[in-house]
């Protein structure tokens, strides 16, 4: 399984806001990671900068919701 980690903020002040989205396939996890941090238009406030990536995670499939 792969967990999608989502961080918000700039490098010195980055906070983990989500780590509970689990995926069976890395390709699916990477798709959602890419789409979550996509930006449209002009953003002058860099404090809401988002970073998302996928990491392997060992979970019990009977106890976790997996996408």
Continuous segment of H or E residues that includes residue 14: none
Q: pLDDT digit string (tens) for 2-55?
A: 999 999 887 778 899 998 999 999 999 999 999 998 876 666 666 667 899 999
Query: Is the pTM of the predicted complex or chain greater than 0.85?
Result: no
pLDDT of residue 8: 87
pLDDT of residue 12: 79
């Amino acid at each position: 399984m792969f967990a999608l980690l989502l961080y918000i903020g700039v490098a010195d002040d980055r906070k983990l806001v989500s780590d509970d989205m689990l995926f069976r396939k890395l390709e699916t996890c990477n798709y959602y990671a890419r789409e979550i941090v996509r930006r449209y238009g002009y953003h002058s406030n860099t404090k809401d900068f988002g970073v998302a990536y996928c990491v392997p995670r060992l979970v019990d499939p009977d106890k976790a919701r997996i996408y």
